[in-house]
Amino acid sequence: MKAEAKQLARRAARERRDVASAALGASAPGLIARHFLRHVPLSTGSCIAGYVAMMGEADPAELIERLSAQGHVCALPRVAAMNEPLVFHRWRAGNVLLPGAHGTREPQPDAPVCRPDIVLVPLLAFDSVGRRLGYGGGYYDRTLAALREDRAGVLAVGVAFSAQEAQDLPEEQFDERLDWVVTEKGAQAFGSASSRGQA
């Protein structure tokens, strides 16, 4: 039943996302970057893993550019093996991207690997307690589980439009929750991260 509920939720969430993406146009990336930099805790020289937006997703490109300019190490994900955790490779503006699985664009496999302190996570929907509705492939759930098992303190930050917030999203045992979500309207922390502030 949860799988069916997720499929219904995905359909509705995709429609909300696409409407928000069309309405906000080019204004959202700058607003998202500003709210992230104002609220999400960063250590000097942190490695932040982003993603290349596709299909109307909230775009973290401007945020990644600003983080890189501030001296942080930025990375992008690569599907090294199907149904396995993502591998993150260092990336700077101008580096070549290759076609990846599921229509994505990925860094070259010989680029240096980065173990991220913060993972920017694409999503279809999020709710008030940090549940995330993804696309069904499970890549980010597997990746976050592996990162969190290996090292405490890794933050998962959802990047979204505010219209993507939903109520009581279905959740399964393997689903990994977000620590933060950042939208064009602000930033919100969840769980233990909320003790470090939200806006």
Residue 176 marked as a ligand binder: no
* Whole-number Å distance between alpha carbons of 139 and 21: 23
Q: List pLDDT tens digits, range 68-108.
A: 999 999 999 999 998 899 999 999 888 999 998 778 899 99
137 in a known ligand binding site: yes
Q: Kindly indicate the confidence band of residue 195, based on its pLDDT and cuts at 50, 70 and 90.
A: low
**How high is the pLDDT of residue 194?**
64
Residue with the two structure tokens 């429609």: 15
Which domains, and CATH codes, for the chain?
2-196 (3.40.50.10420)
151 marked ligand binding residue: no
Check whether 56 is labelled as a binding-site residue.
no
- pLDDT beyond 90 at 5: no
Contact 171, 135 (CB under 8 A): no
- Sorting pLDDT into bands at 50, 70 and 90, what band is 191? confident
Q: pLDDT tens digits, residue range 21-68?
A: 999 989 999 999 999 999 999 998 899 999 999 989 999 999 999 999
193 versus 24: which is more confidently predicted? 24
Q: Could you tell me the sign of the dihedral formed by the alpha carbons of 40, 177, 78, 84, in that order?
A: positive
10 is in an annotated binding site: yes
Q: 138 a known binding residue?
A: yes
| pLDDT for 15 | 95
Q: How confident is the model at residue 198 (pLDDT cuts 50, 70, 90)?
A: very low
Could you give the CA distance from residue 34 to residue 48 in angstroms, rounded to a whole number? 16
* Contacts of 83 by beta carbon, 8 Å cutoff, 6+ apart: 138, 142
